[in-house]
Structure 1
Amino acid sequence: MTDLESKEIENSLEIITDEVDDENDISNESNAEEIIEPKIGMVFDTTQDLFEFYKMYAKIMGFEIIKRTSSKGDDGELKYVTFSCSCSSKAKSLSNHPFKLQPTSKTNCKAKVRATTCLDRKWWEVRSITYEHNHELNTPSKARFLKTNRVMKLFVQRKLDLNDQAGIRPNESFNSLVVEAGGHENLTFLEKDCRNHLHKVRRLRLGDGDASAVLDYFLKMQNGNSNFFYMVDLDEDARLKNLFWADARSRAANKEFGDVITFDSTYLTNKYDMPFAAFVGVNHHGQSTLLGCGLISNEDIDTYVWLFRSWLKCMSGCAPNAIITYQDKAMQKAIEVVFPHARHRWCLWHIMKKLPEKLKGYKKYEVIKLTMQNIVYDSLIPSDFDERWMVFIEKYNLNNNEWLQNLYDERQYWVPAYVKDIFWAGMSTTQRSESMHAFFDGYVNSKTTLKQFVEQYGNALWDKMEKENHADFNDLNSNIPCVTHYAMEQQFRDTYTMEKFREFQQELKGKIFCEIFSCQTNILTSKFVVVEDVKIGENHRRDPFEVSFNEVNCEINCKCRLFEFKGILCRHVIAVLIHKEIFSIPEQYILRRWRKDIKRCYTEVKVSNDNWSTKHEGLRFDKMCNFFYDVAELATNNENNCNMVLEVLDDLKAKLMLNGGGGEISQRGSNIAHGRTKYGEVRGSHNGKILSPLAVRSKGRSPYKRRQSKVEQIIQRKKQKKTTKVTREL
């Protein structure tokens, strides 16, 4: 080869490289100054360089190219390659139905470029070209719809992945990209490409099987934080039965707030109809906090025993002092087995909600319902409830009502007068669990896979953590003004979180409706009768409350037992303390649980989450993007600065491409054959292969219906409309 020929080749390659560098921009730059046609004799380093050059030419001309044929030489190395118009070959239908033929773009077009190796395979030289097409070419504005011209950059994929994890719909993500680019014509991809990308990412996440993907996910969580805990229960066929998992932050938070929990398993939201079981506590702001999650295949005693034992093992054997559930015999028996010393109560709201169903048949239903509500809510001590209940049953002749009889026999599980003697953090229902369900309802539906469902646990934790951090910020930077000059109000404002101070302040305000009517004093204890003026509708009622006060140790108790139940001093106690000229509350009545002036260790624990941003590639990508954004912000207001930045980036891009643009990729494999890690266990024989669960046939959703997802609500409304229409026609 002569020096002149070498120089021509180098110049040709320089032009090709410059053009290829600009090809992948997110904006469609169709205003090229000059169209460089492929010519016989052109040489390229690799077949990929030839493909990129021909693709660029095809994009400008308005057609799409494919790799048509290739052949190897006698030595087994690639020797010939042909790139042709995508309309090459004859049209043929793949449909089996002769009247439902699919559209085809094949016209047996002959346009193509053929190249072969030369100079001991150091170069690829174009040997033949066919320019003519037998079909109409696209205009540059329409050429962006061709498949080879549709390119999705890494930062676009990153944005789509993040939006998908946040529950943002693909069409909404695509619309935001359209606005950002200044119109559809400036994008190098379509909405269909966004959906395909997300589908591929989700499929890659899931791996071979749904159940195996869940276990892989758990192992990844443990790689990120060794305190992530999970338990997997398999049947004899190595099919998934039950799951339990808890984040490291949830485990740490349980040490602070695991004394009182609510548990509920009435939320069916995955394609296997496996009930979702949430362990929920209350933090110092009165907010719900997740303390573990489970997916179970049955709602029997054995399953609940397995789940509760898994939770107990996760929490290092620290059983709750009190637990609230809905009325369920299997759950009750399991609690007696696993948490024998825990106080168990049923959700009061769900029991009272069944009054219409159980008592609607009585003529005096409205009076019966109102009387029963008054007995349940207004009885302060067990003896009061028992006495009023007996009168109620006799008066309305309800002796034969089996439901009422069963409720009375198990009154220690649900009647406030029987359960308010211990601390319940102010909870009387499972509404905490239901609030978790409401959160998940925005992320999952009846077709959600197990892997996707489990991933939403991380989203819930992030959401709850953010709300707690915001509440901590408000407590540090603002306060509620005092409404009185009493030192106790200032005392609680300085020590309690804002939400709990509001509750105390409400009781302090309520003191104006209280009046001390009598007092009995002996050597150690004084007993006061505090009468409160209670407004019910337009009427007033005066209720007496007995308050006892020990002069020696400043121990004070009220018959309403608000402090025992909620940890907040009641208005009756406040009235007696002020009467005794005690304006600072004794230290034993300021609970650590509600304080804002102490450091809680669990707040230092990060939420475990397996996402791209926590991996090395993601961290490097985010670091560079943040730096690029800073540079762009500095250069955007000046044309010279902008051009300078673009020139520097262009040089940098060329250097990276010469280095191959690659990087170090680290991937850790996982072996599940042993079935156990530090805080994870798979119970059952599986030989490394776990089968997805069978669809669950759940028992009736007594005592109440579960909350439906938004998708299910829309489907239900459509069904109702169809039914109504048919009925009207009939």
Structure 2
Amino acid sequence: MEEGKGRSESDPNRRVNGTSFSINDPENQRAKKLWTVDNVKAMRFKSLSAAKSFYRLYAAATGFKVEKQGSVWGENDMVVMRRWVCNRGGFCKKKKNLEKAKNSIRADCPAAFCVSLGYASRRWLVREFVAEHTHELGFKLCPQIYQPIEVEDYLTSVEDSSTSYRSNITIDDAEAAISYLTEKKDSEPRLFYEVNYVNASLARIFFADSMAQLDCSCFGDVVAVYRTNSSDLHFVILFSLNHHHQTTILGCAILSDETVEAYTWMFQKFLDLMQGCMPLSIVTDGNKALGEAIKSVLPESRHRLCTWHLEKIASSIVDNPSFLADFKVLMLDFLSLNDFELKWKAMVENYKLSENPWILEMYRKRHEWAETYLRGHFWARLRSTKVCQVLDGNLSRLSLHKLKLNQVLSLYDSVVMKIRINEGKADYDSKYSKFTPSTPLVKMEKQAFDIFTRESYQRFLSEMQMEMFLVALEIDYDDSPCRKYILAKIDHEDLVYEVMFNPCGLTIECSCLKFETLGFPCSHIFHVLKSEGFKDVPHNLMHQRWTKSAKSTTQFWRNYLPPVSVDVVARMMSYGRVVCSSSPMLYLGTQSEEAFKIVSSCFVKLKGELDRQDNSVLDVQDNKDTSSSSDWKIEQSGLWDYINYPYFEYVRVIDMIFFLFSFLFLSHISDL
């Protein structure tokens, strides 16, 4: 048995490799001494798993991820040597096909840890330990370096226990749901939830946690509505795409019916969550009640019909693959108005659909689904409600009418946690990817690599690479300061694009309207930038929504948000920072029952300390003159300048608290 395994979970003095750690001694210098190169090389381990656990703990505390590099096998197929390295070691293998550059996180990092089995002592000896790194280390215990939480076990347990749950628990569905949300709000005061009763019965619930509220402020400009139906419940998810082009949840509603009144109530609550700010765009599956509610509550939002649902219906209208292909051209291609009308007329005549009710309705609603009419409005690449695949893959597995409402809410929280951990992994990959140029515009490409997330950069890069296939047919220099470029693809000079460049305001507009629609400069704009001698991309072509800093500032959202109090915005930003700092501990606390008990105990102690601190702050404030000036009381006109100041003073205190908590947590799990 490994050392330290027999100790009580409540024992504050745990041991790793014979050295104790005390949770009552946060300044324990023995930890630092333990992990010096000389002392690590002098270590002995009773088992290979103990050596692995030590190095993983060391990596988590230091801020990097471990991967196994290789093993040496002896007699009887027994491992006698094993080597682990930093996951950023080595170089990325160069590929001949550079159509899509792979930006590896490899940085030729030499950090390594190797142990071998001593034949005499039968202990594992440290043969190599390299502590140096060639790259910036990540946040200690960064959650992105771990595998995402799996929801499958939870789903199975709910499916197996749904019948027994109903027979053992007599509490009413409504009471259970309200109780669940009330308890959650006790631990998360910024939780937003509203309930609505019809004829004294609970009919509607809308809720969004603090992280969803933060995502609303960053990505609430484009919203999609996803619906999961059952015989008596309607589960409605409001979501968007984040800066990694992943699904991000903005809010959730549970409705007992799908009437216009129900959806109107839902959107009113969502509007309250958004502080009265209507999204620019909204995507739905075409539900009529949903559409009527949008017209009533969100009249300024541009409505789009889900392309996936339209394809599904179109394939059932005519059992002919060529019809679906023709319809998709009309739906997805950016055609001129004249070309759209001609192609639509030809399709209707070819398949004899002039009397088909659905075809007639689609023509009346062409402004809600045809790219010809939608191009130029910002959609953030969101045109289908089926991109919410994590929710679709897990929630749709269960029949909601078989579950109590509190079970549905708990399941929802588990799935959302998985989504957010995937976002954390994408943050990590974006931060530690290594730049590999793949176009002649190296400086411009490097600028985009530094600013955009990894996924956004790839989309930016694909447009940059297409620039080399363009040729300028004409450049019109008139009396105005603007210049007009007529561009076309090589060997496709019949299809031209017009790009207007104003050197005074550094504005560039292309007739393809791709930047206005997706938020990325098109290849035609890159061609003009290159022709005009630009070395960098103008900042007005760098959409804040797709950058690495999209969630670190709400600056880009200021054009849409109404005036809000400094206190609300500041505390929301601080809450997001605290959650990001504490999420590693939350994740590790779910990996075993013992770890869960440790984390729970530490949080109880931490909460008590913060409560005492909060009470002391209130006592001080009560003794102050209420008319005195405060950093929180600033003019509304200077709000955004204040927010852009490098964080708030009290965030430094929060950082110190979580640094202390990280040390206490490491001391606890050091021999797990």
TM-score (norm. length: structure 2)? 0.57
Q: Which residue of 2 aligns with 1:309?
A: 268
- Matched residues in 1 for 2:451 and 2:247: separation? 21
Q: Which residue of 2 aligns with 1:408?
A: 363
TM-superposed deviation, 1:494: 0.7
**Conservation of the 8 A alpha-carbon contact between 1:530 and 1:544:** yes
Q: Which residue of 2 aligns with 1:230?
A: 193
Secondary structure at 2:388's aligned position in 1? Answer: helix
Q: Which residue of 1 aligns with 2:281?
A: 322
- Pick from 199, 205, 216 the counterpart of residue 243 of structure 1: 205
In structure 2, the CA distance between the partners of 1:560 and 1:205, relative to structure 1 (3 Å rule), is farther
Q: Quick one: percent identity of the two aligned structures?
A: 27
TM-superposed deviation, 1:570: 1.1
**Conservation of the 8 A alpha-carbon contact between 2:445 and 2:461:** yes
1:520 aligns with 2:486: no
TM-superposed deviation, 1:443: 6.8
Q: Which residue of 2 aligns with 1:373?
A: 328
1:268 aligns with 2:229: yes
- Matched residues in 1 for 2:516 and 2:262: separation? 33
**Conservation of the 8 A alpha-carbon contact between 1:280 and 1:288:** yes
- Pick from 581, 595, 606 the counterpart of residue 547 of structure 2: 595
Secondary structure at 2:439's aligned position in 1? Answer: coil
Secondary structure at 1:475's aligned position in 2? Answer: helix
**Conservation of the 8 A alpha-carbon contact between 2:400 and 2:408:** no
In structure 2, the CA distance between the partners of 1:603 and 1:558, relative to structure 1 (3 Å rule), is same
TM-superposed deviation, 1:366: 5.2
- Matched residues in 2 for 1:289 and 1:432: separation? 10
Write the letter of the residue equivalent to 1:261: V
Write the letter of the residue equivalent to 2:515: F
Q: Which runs of 5+ in 1 are unaligned?
A: 1-163, 174-194, 535-539, 627-730
1:547 aligns with 2:499: yes
CA deviation profile, 1:67-115 (whole Å, cap 9, x unmatched): xxxxxxxxxxxxxxxxxxxxxxxxxxxxxxxxxxxxxxxxxxxxxxxxx
- Matched residues in 2 for 1:273 and 1:255: separation? 32
TM-superposed deviation, 1:383: 4.5
Write the letter of the residue equivalent to 1:231: E
**Conservation of the 8 A alpha-carbon contact between 1:268 and 1:446:** no
Write the letter of the residue equivalent to 1:466: I
Secondary structure at 2:257's aligned position in 1? Answer: coil
In structure 2, the CA distance between the partners of 1:430 and 1:333, relative to structure 1 (3 Å rule), is same
- Matched residues in 2 for 1:273 and 1:556: separation? 52
Q: Which residue of 2 aligns with 1:511?
A: 467
- Matched residues in 1 for 2:596 and 2:407: separation? 26
Secondary structure at 1:279's aligned position in 2? Answer: strand
Q: Which residue of 2 aligns with 1:565?
A: 517
In structure 2, the CA distance between the partners of 1:618 and 1:224, relative to structure 1 (3 Å rule), is farther
Q: Which residue of 1 aligns with 2:180?
A: 217
**Conservation of the 8 A alpha-carbon contact between 2:238 and 2:250:** yes
- Matched residues in 1 for 2:167 and 2:213: separation? 30
1:287 aligns with 2:246: yes
TM-superposed deviation, 1:448: 2.2
Q: Which residue of 2 aligns with 1:622?
A: 598
Secondary structure at 1:168's aligned position in 2? Answer: helix
TM-superposed deviation, 1:355: 2.2
**Conservation of the 8 A alpha-carbon contact between 1:549 and 1:557:** yes
- Pick from 333, 343, 350 the counterpart of residue 292 of structure 2: 333
In structure 2, the CA distance between the partners of 1:165 and 1:469, relative to structure 1 (3 Å rule), is closer
- Matched residues in 2 for 1:488 and 1:170: separation? 47
In structure 2, the CA distance between the partners of 1:204 and 1:620, relative to structure 1 (3 Å rule), is farther
1:252 aligns with 2:214: yes
- Matched residues in 1 for 2:596 and 2:306: separation? 50
Q: Which runs of 5+ in 2 are unaligned?
A: 1-148, 554-572, 603-672
**Conservation of the 8 A alpha-carbon contact between 1:206 and 1:213:** no
- Matched residues in 2 for 1:548 and 1:401: separation? 43
CA deviation profile, 1:366-406 (whole Å, cap 9, x unmatched): 55444443333333344442344345445665433332221
TM-superposed deviation, 1:444: 6.6
- Pick from 566, 574, 577 the counterpart of residue 604 of structure 1: 577
TM-superposed deviation, 1:546: 2.3
- Matched residues in 2 for 1:571 and 1:287: separation? 24
In structure 2, the CA distance between the partners of 1:354 and 1:261, relative to structure 1 (3 Å rule), is same
**Conservation of the 8 A alpha-carbon contact between 2:304 and 2:368:** yes
Write the letter of the residue equivalent to 1:448: L
In structure 2, the CA distance between the partners of 1:249 and 1:370, relative to structure 1 (3 Å rule), is closer
**Conservation of the 8 A alpha-carbon contact between 1:262 and 1:433:** no
- Matched residues in 2 for 1:383 and 1:468: separation? 43
**Conservation of the 8 A alpha-carbon contact between 1:261 and 1:280:** yes
- Matched residues in 1 for 2:420 and 2:198: separation? 36
- Pick from 445, 448, 451 the counterpart of residue 495 of structure 1: 451
**Conservation of the 8 A alpha-carbon contact between 2:263 and 2:290:** yes
Secondary structure at 2:223's aligned position in 1? Answer: strand
1:483 aligns with 2:459: no
In structure 2, the CA distance between the partners of 1:459 and 1:204, relative to structure 1 (3 Å rule), is farther
- Give 1:43-62 correspondences, 5 Å limit: none
**Conservation of the 8 A alpha-carbon contact between 1:243 and 1:295:** yes
CA deviation profile, 1:400-433 (whole Å, cap 9, x unmatched): 3332221111111111111121111111111233
Q: Which residue of 2 aligns with 1:297?
A: 256
- Matched residues in 1 for 2:179 and 2:358: separation? 47
TM-superposed deviation, 1:203: 7.1
In structure 2, the CA distance between the partners of 1:553 and 1:391, relative to structure 1 (3 Å rule), is farther
Secondary structure at 1:583's aligned position in 2? Answer: coil
Q: Which residue of 1 aligns with 2:617?
A: none
TM-superposed deviation, 1:165: 9.9
After alignment, is 555-564 or 213-222 more displaced? 555-564
CA deviation profile, 1:16-56 (whole Å, cap 9, x unmatched): xxxxxxxxxxxxxxxxxxxxxxxxxxxxxxxxxxxxxxxxx
In structure 2, the CA distance between the partners of 1:618 and 1:227, relative to structure 1 (3 Å rule), is farther
In structure 2, the CA distance between the partners of 1:520 and 1:418, relative to structure 1 (3 Å rule), is same
In structure 2, the CA distance between the partners of 1:422 and 1:379, relative to structure 1 (3 Å rule), is closer
**Conservation of the 8 A alpha-carbon contact between 2:376 and 2:516:** yes
- Matched residues in 2 for 1:443 and 1:619: separation? 29
**Conservation of the 8 A alpha-carbon contact between 1:167 and 1:442:** no
1:586 aligns with 2:542: no
Write the letter of the residue equivalent to 1:495: I
Secondary structure at 1:354's aligned position in 2? Answer: helix
- Count of aligned residue pairs for this structure pair: 427
In structure 2, the CA distance between the partners of 1:605 and 1:245, relative to structure 1 (3 Å rule), is farther
- Matched residues in 1 for 2:194 and 2:395: separation? 21
- Matched residues in 2 for 1:211 and 1:502: separation? 47
CA deviation profile, 1:571-611 (whole Å, cap 9, x unmatched): 12112221222231111111111111462536326499999
TM-superposed deviation, 1:206: 5.5
Write the letter of the residue equivalent to 1:330: A
Q: Which residue of 1 aligns with 2:236?
A: 277
- Pick from 408, 411, 415 the counterpart of residue 453 of structure 1: 408
TM-superposed deviation, 1:235: 1.9
CA deviation profile, 1:195-219 (whole Å, cap 9, x unmatched): 99x998x679966222211101111
In structure 2, the CA distance between the partners of 1:302 and 1:199, relative to structure 1 (3 Å rule), is closer
**Conservation of the 8 A alpha-carbon contact between 2:497 and 2:512:** yes
Q: Which residue of 2 aligns with 1:351?
A: 310
- Matched residues in 2 for 1:439 and 1:172: separation? 13
- Matched residues in 2 for 1:444 and 1:340: separation? 34
Secondary structure at 2:279's aligned position in 1? Answer: coil
In structure 2, the CA distance between the partners of 1:442 and 1:618, relative to structure 1 (3 Å rule), is farther
- Matched residues in 1 for 2:503 and 2:515: separation? 19
